[in-house]
Amino acid sequence: MLLLSPQNFNDYELIDVGNFEKLERFGQYITIRPEPQAVWQPKLSYREWEQKAHIKFVAKSSSSGNWNKLKNSPDRWNIQYRNLKFRLALTSFKHVGIFPEQAVNWDYITESTGALNLNEPKFLNLFAYTGAASIAAKAAGADVTHVDSIKQVVTWANENMQHSNLDNIRWVVEDAMKFVKREVKRGKKYHGIILDPPAYGHGPNGESWKLEDNIDEMLKNVLQLLDEEKHFLILNTYSLGFSSMIIENLIYNNLPYKPDLETGELYLQATTGNKLPLGVFGRFRKT
């Protein structure tokens, strides 16, 4: 099992984490946000946290809250990872527009797209959020289809594409399961697929998604979309109840052959020493 954390992400730093919160730097601005997995005590005192931070998220419920500005700071700003550029923003649900641990997957997408040695391989990003994986694939030369059920985050992804001086990503605002089933019926094939589903979610027409209930059916359909000759796939999940063995079983049970599967856990390394686990993944490729 692999334990992977982003390397050389100069515009991001997990400074400290603990007591169900994390102290992070995005570019030049430092935030305090909730973190349900940080059950230990932080290394720095809370006074040091608040001295460093520009902005703190204050939860009002399990799904929303407000940002309290401790220092002068904008509501929107830009950061960069390698050749990818992102617009960040303060949302009411504590996110800022990227999940930094996913840089590991962006690198794998870049590497795998090149390894296919194809002219514009077809890439599908499901549950695509603000599009970092889509942009990584597009920058590597892929023909990209981006699927998310929320129109506002697809618009945000389009802005990120433009910030990275790219174009011609196909944007689809739709329930991921409905999209995938339709593509299977049409006989569509993709050379690369990433799916990073939430624990819970809803489609644009109220369709319900629950990871434990739906991921096996989703993966069964997704695997039918892979090109038989050359392909790669990443399945990433963030759920407190999931382990990499679940990912392994899901992939092996739904494929007619056993791929050279890598499974593991993504984490962020805090400058003060602790490691923050942030999901499990499975990935394989055939080139």
Distances (CA, A) of 270 to 27, 155, 197, 266: 16, 32, 25, 13
Q: State pLDDT tens for residues 93-129.
A: 999 999 999 999 999 999 999 999 999 999 999 999 9
Rounded to an integer, the average pLDDT of 244-272 is: 94
Q: State pLDDT tens for residues 219-232.
A: 999 999 999 999 99
* CATH code for the part of the protein at 2-89: 2.60.40.1180
153 or 241, which is more confident?
153
Q: What's the rounded Cα separation, in Å, for the pair 27 and 16?
A: 16
3-state secondary structure of 153: helix
Residue 242 pLDDT more than 90? Answer: no
CB 234 within 8 A of CB 194: yes
In the numeric block, which tokens belong to residue 167? 């174009």
Q: What percent of the chain is modeled with pLDDT above 90?
A: 90
Residue 202: per-residue pLDDT? 82
The residues spanned by each domain of the chain are: 2-89, 100-286
Q: State pLDDT tens for residues 191-206.
A: 999 999 988 888 888 8
Residue 257: per-residue pLDDT? 85
CB 267 within 8 A of CB 277: yes
Q: What's the rounded Cα separation, in Å, for the pair 257 and 251?
A: 10
Structural domain 100-286, CATH architecture? 3-Layer(aba) Sandwich (3.40)
pLDDT averaged over every residue in the chain: 95
